[in-house]
Homo-oligomer: A and B are copies of this chain.
Amino acid sequence: MQIIEGGVTAAAGYQAIGIAAGIKKGKKDMAMLYSQVPCQVAGTFTTNVVKAAPVKWDREIVRGSGRARAVVMNSGIANACTGAEGLRCCEETAEKAAGLLGIQKNQVLVASTGVIGQELPMDVINKGFETMVPMLSDTAGAGTLAAEAIMTTDTVKKEIAVQVTLGGNVVTIGGMSKGSGMIHPNMCTMLAFVTTDAAISGEMLQRALSSDVKDTYNMISVDGDTSTNDTCLLFANGLAGNPEIREDNEDYREFCRGLNFVNTWLAKHMAADGEGATALFEVKVVGAQDKEQAVTLAKSVITSNLVKTAICGHDANWGRILCAMGYSGASFDPERVDLYFESSAGKLKIIEDGVATDYSEEQATQILSQKEITALIDVKMGQEQATAWGCDLTHEYVNINADYRS
């Protein structure tokens, strides 16, 4: 597997673009992704009972034909809690884009992120399509414009691409995502779009995605709030010419490794760029008796406000980590737990068998003052493990969210 330049346009046959259509003042706010040939499409969506209209629209297509050629996005208005009118807007959006692209409306997926409850300005959006369709391009730069146009409170664009070799053919997998706030995926969060030129059946594509999101997007949390709009879409157009993947064989597993790399990279970068974050905080639980226990413990620690503020203060307040494990719902023996803090500044054992070691607070503070910090927790019950990613809770998170709509 090799990392290459680019994002959603890295694989053969994909075009993209992003523009400032005028939904948000002075910022890019609309994007399109288009495949020159029909694609298999897999998707995972929010499990929130309150689902945004675009989630409902996309789910119909993914679970129905499982085939699409385009996705259109806006980052100004979420089109959630908008009732029947919201769904009508999705259909009109898809219809307008489809007309300009010369395809069917049920081949166009729709994704939105932004303020909940407001209605889409359809005139601005329709005008946006007229601007975008002639600009669609397969260059890396066009993919980057799309990655920038889906950002809300994100501070950096997130795109990545890798190549794997399947049956002698080089296959590319590239993706982009946006995260930042209301990030606590349950199924898959935020907006993420991954494209590949691999030839793979719809069934195996969905299986690869559904399995992978559990270890990637579903393992990050910025604030514990599971969004109404979480959407992850994976397109495969077959242009790489590899023997089509139809079963769980070596090619499938290699494809999954590439997909996992792309999704993990996007997920970690979403956590690191969480609203107001100054550090990426990784929690790795090892020695668990089963996967579920490891996941429950890691996610409880990554979500704790008290742990997150301690990380903000570079404070080795390990009691809060044990406390968050304790209320997670998973059972374990607190008096067997070992805990280490680790970063580019070193690795330090903080707790052994549930009690503090004689560690140096100064050294701990130095380790916790880096941009990427890991808490390694060994519960000594078995062989399973899980890793979750989050960030610190800062003043800036409060600033951003106390004023989001103003």
Asked if residues B327 and A226 are in contact (CB atoms below 8 Å), the reply is yes
Q: Is residue A82 contacting chain B, with contact meaning CB distance below 8 A?
A: yes
Q: Is residue A89 contacting chain B, with contact meaning CB distance below 8 A?
A: no
Find chain B residues with CB under 8 A from A330 CB.
49
Residues of A349-402 at the interface with B, using a CB-CB cut-off of 8 Å, are 351, 353-356, 393-395, 397-402
Q: Is residue A317 contacting chain B, with contact meaning CB distance below 8 A?
A: yes
Number of interface residues of A (CB under 8 A): 66
Find chain B residues with CB under 8 A from A315 CB.
402-406
Stretch binding the partner chain, chosen from A93-101, A248-256, A318-326: A318-326
Q: Mark A315-342, 1 if CB is under 8 A from B, else 0.
A: 1011110111111101110110000000
Asked if residues A393 and B398 are in contact (CB atoms below 8 Å), the reply is yes
Asked if residues B117 and A306 are in contact (CB atoms below 8 Å), the reply is no
Find chain B residues with CB under 8 A from A116 CB.
317-320, 322-323
Find chain B residues with CB under 8 A from A405 CB.
315, 317
Asked if residues B323 and A398 are in contact (CB atoms below 8 Å), the reply is no
A398 is contacted by which of B224, B309, B356 (Cβ under 8 Å)?
A: B309
Find chain B residues with CB under 8 A from A394 CB.
398
A223-B305, A224-B305, A395-B398 as given contacts; A49 in contact with B332, CB under 8 Å: yes
Asked if residues A225 and B313 are in contact (CB atoms below 8 Å), the reply is no
Q: Is residue A348 contacting chain B, with contact meaning CB distance below 8 A?
A: no
Find chain B residues with CB under 8 A from A399 CB.
395
Asked if residues A323 and B228 are in contact (CB atoms below 8 Å), the reply is yes
How many copies of this protein are present in the complex?
Answer: 2
Asked if residues B186 and A401 are in contact (CB atoms below 8 Å), the reply is no
Asked if residues A48 and B223 are in contact (CB atoms below 8 Å), the reply is no
Q: Is residue A50 contacting chain B, with contact meaning CB distance below 8 A?
A: yes
A50-B334, A117-B356, A322-B81 as given contacts; A181 in contact with B306, CB under 8 Å: yes
Asked if residues A117 and B49 are in contact (CB atoms below 8 Å), the reply is no
Q: How far is the CA of A322 from the CA of B49 in the complex (A)?
A: 9
Q: How far is the CA of A82 from the CA of B324 in the complex (A)?
A: 16
A324 is contacted by which of B83, B225, B305 (Cβ under 8 Å)?
A: B225
Asked if residues A319 and B115 are in contact (CB atoms below 8 Å), the reply is yes
Q: Is residue A312 contacting chain B, with contact meaning CB distance below 8 A?
A: yes
- Chain B's closest residue to A47 (CB) is B327
Write the residues of chain A forming the contact surface with B, with a CB cutoff of 8 angstroms.
47-51, 78, 80-83, 115-117, 181-182, 184, 186, 223-228, 303-306, 309-310, 312-313, 315, 317-320, 322-328, 330-332, 334-335, 351, 353-356, 393-395, 397-406
A-B contact pairs, 19 of them (CB 8 A): A48-B323, A49-B332, A50-B322, A50-B334, A81-B355, A83-B353, A115-B319, A116-B318, A116-B322, A182-B323, A223-B306, A224-B304, A225-B304, A309-B397, A309-B402, A313-B402, A317-B404, A395-B395, A398-B398
Q: A182-B320, A226-B326, A315-B402 are in contact. List 20 more A-B contacts (CB 8 A).
A: A48-B326, A81-B351, A83-B354, A83-B355, A115-B319, A116-B319, A117-B319, A224-B224, A225-B306, A225-B320, A228-B319, A305-B397, A310-B404, A312-B398, A313-B401, A317-B404, A317-B405, A393-B398, A394-B398, A398-B398
